[in-house]
Chain A
């Protein structure tokens, strides 16, 4: 409790300090993922991260200039200091300037943003295609093209009930862990098709730079190419009812050899039931 209180005090002081020069520490801030986007694990996520930082720096500069004027004025142009009010109330030059300059700044933002949109939307030439189906409240995955084709499983939250319902201290991956993670190989273009069974969900993995709504009755797509191995965690990002906060996404990016081994193991697991029912029904992509 006292520990908590001390922490809160510290945070409050930090916040107060932050108010003075809100963006002042943004260099360290950028490096620390607690205050910023998660560390990118794909080229796309890195581009998004750069664009985001570019926006922050531009906003920071405008912020300093504009509020520099305002706070100087608050300091200097006070009645209590004997300031006498000027009576000017327009200036065509100034007004044109502060309309044109922002337009130029916007062009500087729009240019890189447009390039990123175009890249983000290019889902062609995928190596592996996986369909993610949102259900209230879990995800179903079908590997429908490329290495691993035919693998299908359902992925649900695996945080133990003790933590969820009985208040045991939450583990490190509380609410961000699943029984059957998605496994993909490093360096391959993975196309994710999203759809849903009941209501709209959204498939979001921040470190990979993807978020795509999963819409019942429709198929949408997005893609990523992971450039480092690891476990990347995400969540459903569209309110989908009671357990919206309980349908996480876990993606394991592994080497090509490990991926091949995983595929073989999955195939073996499903071999017995599959043999009985002849061929597994091909996933219904469209």
Chain B
């Protein structure tokens, strides 16, 4: 068992790759060490998060008052589209892959990811993709303005920025698939002796399932955008009725990718939160097995609900009813997760350091997004919510307060392991409270805007929507500025601070806490012996 990962991780001609192989820039360009690659993913995604954030704030500035003050409608649509694409493909997804790279080998007791060179390649595909995507703002016609969903035939009308976005998506998709294969193989083949599947940390489980989702749906997205590409340039008519095609076909294919995609962005978040809550409740995770089954059921169900994004396209009643029921069913395993977390907290001995604050905040606010999700599953009512600010509120509750808050929680949780220093707890807590308050000030009013009739993806609106929009803009700027505080806390922690112990957190359990802090460049070159604590199973 031990020889195999060893070999794979180091390749054959690369035995000098301990602490200091190549230095300077070359260290990063040639990096094959999972920790270096993890760090690069995290930095990349933070840069993309800030870029997407600047776009969001420009949108919010325009929406501060009725009338056009800051940008013209065309550019507004470009910003909306690019904000969505950058946040989804540039910020959230790579950030979770960064966590996977850093933590999975440490959690399963492996020396590195299974395919270390491919790992380098999956990361280094991302910067060129980002340059293509963001560079498209500067070509004639500007970036694509068809919305992050890139619906045909609107996307067929766009300028060359659309082609650049398509290629960027191809490249990012390839990167995701390679990353996912690496994760699957690492988890399945490189666990320490004694760590059976049902004993591995839940974060590994959620990533294992997520990786399968990625492998299954990224090619579907690639197919959808390639059909757009050939419709644009090579005379095909997949989405053009005049040539026997159908615009709605695009939506079916896109959402067959799109719905599993939302679980790709939330399952690893569930994993992170499931690591953190037991630590700070000093009590084992409640219902470990049911957590695994719930995750798997969510993943399977996610393949049969896609048309809930398409209720307004006008489908037969039976089809609507099928997709409505299937979607409602997802609430059951999702509910099980929330109940399990709360049962883990119940009669624990809790403390509320920043990772725990973000995790509890996650449960609270993500669940609100879950409630609106349940409301959206009701087809006849969804038809009224669809494409309004109610939906914008819903998906920011699950993406920002869900995925992003879990990423913050995980960052604070493992930061001492990464840097060897404790972060500034006071500032961390302040980051949490400011994020939590400003998040709600920004997005809660959007529910009302949507219900009252404000459609999404517009730069201007009737004055009756003015006050909630003003409030949302104030909140958004507060939220944006708060993230600079986050950057400051991280930089401060990298620079120094109180020395972190190997254990870091009193209640922490798992192999990652058995290596020193900061985790040395090479860990688990000899597989550790994994002894499950009695109370796991």
- CB closest residue in chain B, given A221: B314
B145 beta carbon closer than 8 Å to chain A:
yes
B residues less than 8 Å from A176 (CB atoms): 462
A217 beta carbon closer than 8 Å to chain B:
yes
* Candidates B66, B312, B328, B349; contact of A79 at CB < 8 Å: B349
Distance from B371 Cβ to chain A, minimum over Cβ atoms (Å): 4
A residues less than 8 Å from B388 (CB atoms): 237
Complex contact A59–B375 (CB within 8 A): yes
Complex contact B313–A242 (CB within 8 A): no
- Which residues of chain B (272-294) have a CB below 8 Å from chain A? 281-290
Complex contact B347–A18 (CB within 8 A): no
* Candidates A22, A121, A174, A244; contact of B462 at CB < 8 Å: A174
> How far is A16 from B536 in the complex, measured between Cα atoms in Å?
41
B452 beta carbon closer than 8 Å to chain A:
yes
Complex contact A234–B346 (CB within 8 A): no
Complex contact A239–B470 (CB within 8 A): no
Distance from B373 Cβ to chain A, minimum over Cβ atoms (Å): 10
> How far is A90 from B285 in the complex, measured between Cα atoms in Å?
9
A residues less than 8 Å from B380 (CB atoms): 47-48, 51, 113, 116-117, 120
B residues less than 8 Å from A80 (CB atoms): 351
Chain A 175-202 interface 0/1 with B at a Cβ cutoff of 8 Å (1 = within): 1100000000000000000100011101
A residues less than 8 Å from B448 (CB atoms): 34-36
Chain A 49-84 interface 0/1 with B at a Cβ cutoff of 8 Å (1 = within): 001100110010011001101100110011110011
B321 beta carbon closer than 8 Å to chain A:
yes
B residues less than 8 Å from A211 (CB atoms): 312, 383-384, 386-387
Distance from B150 Cβ to chain A, minimum over Cβ atoms (Å): 10
> How far is A84 from B347 in the complex, measured between Cα atoms in Å?
8
> How far is A114 from B68 in the complex, measured between Cα atoms in Å?
42
Interface with A: B225-233, B252-260, B437-445, which one?
A: B437-445
B residues less than 8 Å from A243 (CB atoms): 73
Complex contact A220–B367 (CB within 8 A): no
B338 beta carbon closer than 8 Å to chain A:
yes
B residues less than 8 Å from A66 (CB atoms): 338-339, 342, 367
A143 beta carbon closer than 8 Å to chain B:
no
Complex contact A200–B151 (CB within 8 A): yes
> How far is A59 from B460 in the complex, measured between Cα atoms in Å?
32
Complex contact B336–A95 (CB within 8 A): yes
Known: A51-B381, A77-B349, A85-B282. A237 touches B329 (CB 8 A): no
Interface with A: B112-120, B170-178, B242-250, which one?
A: B242-250
* Candidates B154, B282, B463; contact of A170 at CB < 8 Å: B463
Known: A79-B282, A220-B314. A240 touches B154 (CB 8 A): yes
Complex contact B246–A218 (CB within 8 A): yes
B529 beta carbon closer than 8 Å to chain A:
no
Known: A103-B332, A200-B153, A220-B313. A235 touches B455 (CB 8 A): yes
> How far is A87 from B360 in the complex, measured between Cα atoms in Å?
20
B residues less than 8 Å from A132 (CB atoms): none
> How far is A72 from B386 in the complex, measured between Cα atoms in Å?
36
> How far is A237 from B461 in the complex, measured between Cα atoms in Å?
13
A89 beta carbon closer than 8 Å to chain B:
yes
Distance from B316 Cβ to chain A, minimum over Cβ atoms (Å): 7
Question: Which among B69, B153, B453 has the highest number of chain A CB atoms within 10 Å?
Answer: B453
> How far is A70 from B248 in the complex, measured between Cα atoms in Å?
43
A238 beta carbon closer than 8 Å to chain B:
yes
A residues less than 8 Å from B284 (CB atoms): 87, 89
Complex contact A209–B287 (CB within 8 A): no
Known: A113-B324, A117-B321, A120-B380. A79 touches B345 (CB 8 A): no
Complex contact A8–B471 (CB within 8 A): yes
* Candidates A7, A95, A117, A234; contact of B453 at CB < 8 Å: A234
Known: A19-B440, A215-B247. A38 touches B452 (CB 8 A): yes
A residues less than 8 Å from B286 (CB atoms): 88-90
Complex contact A238–B378 (CB within 8 A): no
B335 beta carbon closer than 8 Å to chain A:
yes
| Category for how many chain B residues contact A | 35 or more
Complex contact A86–B314 (CB within 8 A): no
Question: Which among B458, B462, B474 has the highest number of chain A CB atoms within 10 Å?
Answer: B462
Q: How many A-B residue pairs have CB under 8 A?
A: 292
> How far is A164 from B461 in the complex, measured between Cα atoms in Å?
11
> How far is A244 from B157 in the complex, measured between Cα atoms in Å?
14
Distance from A59 Cβ to chain B, minimum over Cβ atoms (Å): 4
* Candidates B240, B317, B445, B460; contact of A121 at CB < 8 Å: B317
Distance from A185 Cβ to chain B, minimum over Cβ atoms (Å): 24
- CB closest residue in chain B, given A75: B350
A124 beta carbon closer than 8 Å to chain B:
no
A142 beta carbon closer than 8 Å to chain B:
no
> How far is A194 from B451 in the complex, measured between Cα atoms in Å?
23
Question: Which among A109, A202, A212, A245 has the highest number of chain B CB atoms within 10 Å?
Answer: A245
Chain A 91-123 interface 0/1 with B at a Cβ cutoff of 8 Å (1 = within): 000110011001100100110011011101100
A21 beta carbon closer than 8 Å to chain B:
no
Known: A89-B284, A239-B154, A241-B145. A206 touches B384 (CB 8 A): yes
> How far is A110 from B323 in the complex, measured between Cα atoms in Å?
12
A residues less than 8 Å from B335 (CB atoms): 98, 102
Distance from B330 Cβ to chain A, minimum over Cβ atoms (Å): 10
A33 beta carbon closer than 8 Å to chain B:
yes
> How far is A35 from B66 in the complex, measured between Cα atoms in Å?
19
A204 beta carbon closer than 8 Å to chain B:
yes
B528 beta carbon closer than 8 Å to chain A:
no
Complex contact B374–A59 (CB within 8 A): yes
* Candidates A63, A99, A118, A213; contact of B332 at CB < 8 Å: A99
- CB closest residue in chain A, given B281: A85
> How far is A91 from B496 in the complex, measured between Cα atoms in Å?
44
> How far is A53 from B272 in the complex, measured between Cα atoms in Å?
34
Complex contact B320–A117 (CB within 8 A): yes
* Candidates B73, B348, B371, B463; contact of A77 at CB < 8 Å: B348
Q: Given A16-B437, A36-B451, A67-B367, list of 15 further CB < 8 A pairs? A: A12-B474, A15-B445, A34-B452, A36-B448, A48-B380, A78-B351, A88-B347, A89-B286, A90-B287, A94-B343, A95-B336, A170-B67, A212-B314, A213-B313, A220-B314
Residues of B at under 8 Å CB distance from A?
Answer: 66-69, 73-74, 77, 145-147, 151, 153-154, 157, 240-242, 246-248, 281-290, 312-314, 316-317, 320-321, 324-325, 328-329, 331-332, 335-336, 338-339, 342-352, 360, 363-364, 367-368, 371, 374-375, 378-381, 383-384, 386-388, 437, 440-441, 444-445, 448, 451-453, 455, 457-464, 467-468, 470-471, 474, 535-536
24 contacts between A and B (CB under 8 A): A15-B444, A36-B448, A37-B451, A48-B381, A52-B384, A55-B375, A70-B364, A73-B346, A73-B347, A74-B350, A102-B331, A102-B335, A109-B328, A110-B325, A114-B324, A167-B67, A170-B67, A194-B314, A199-B157, A211-B387, A237-B387, A238-B151, A239-B146, A244-B458
Q: Which 7 A-B pairs have the closest CB atoms?
A: A217-B241, A245-B458, A220-B314, A121-B317, A116-B380, A85-B349, A86-B347
